[in-house]
Each structure stands twice: as C-alpha cells, then as structure tokens.
Structure 1
C-alpha cells in the first residue's frame, strides 16, 4: 500500500547513514538490530513490520530528527533515488 514511501524512508536511512560514515553493521549495532534487517529496511523490503518505534530508534541511532525520515517534499516525491544494493556495507 505504501511501498513507495517505505522505499523512500529506506533510502533516507541509507543516505544519513552514509553521511555519518557508518556502515550498515555500525548502525545495526547502535540500534540493536541485525545487519540483514537494516538492509531490508534500507531497500524498502521490511515495510510490513516497520513501526514508528523502529523509525524512532533508527533516527536516534543516526542522531537526526524523525521528521527527516518521514517528511516528503514535492521534490523528494519525484526524484529517482539509487536503490542501495543488498551487499552495501559502506
């Protein structure tokens, strides 16, 4: 139902993670989830179970406000983002 939004949230998580020079493993350890789970979230494949609580935890782990992950302006709704690969660790 909200597949596009989940993919955009995942891409934002990957963007802020890279901006902070964190690997998926680094962030996963910070927020106490598996690297596999974080990879699925970043790729938009974890949408059925992605809770507000999880998003808050991720935002805290990235040291950003939650709104940066869930707010979409018009430009973001139309930008084609590069999808993170499953093997992305940087």
Structure 2
C-alpha cells in the first residue's frame, strides 16, 4: 500500500520515544526514536514493535512516550472549482 493510500484509509504518523536501560550500565537511560504510519487508537504497529523490542533487544524498556498525528483530516480537503492566475 502506498503512503497516499494509507493516509486516505485513516493512517497517521505515530512517533514514539523509547527510554531504555543500557545492558551493561543499568543506571543509565538512553533513548530511541521510532516513526511509522499507524492506525489510532489501537496502534498495532507500535505494539508489535514494543513486543519485538522486549523479545529481541537486550536493553530493557523503562518507558515509552508517543504521539499520533493524522495527516489528512476531513477539514483539510476543499473542492476547488476554478483557479485564477495573477501575473
């Protein structure tokens, strides 16, 4: 599916910041930024990535902060009937 098709089907851009502990230094927090087109409010891709992280990555998660922005909203579309060119 193309990005345009995803946006028209209701997908929006989800940005998540993962705070995790360093495997060798448990008192040190590090951060990782992740972005993907996802569906709110369930966020299946985000939760799949969190499960992947917990299963495959050595650094245990401390917390996750995320934001979701629908890029195409109904109020942003207008039907343009004509166009004027001014020189």
Q: TM-score range by the shorter chain?
A: under 0.3
Q: TM-score, normalised by structure 1?
A: 0.27
Q: Rg bigger for which structure?
A: 2
Q: TM-score, normalised by structure 2?
A: 0.28
Structure 1 or 2: more helix by fraction: 1
Structure 1 or 2: more strand by fraction: 2
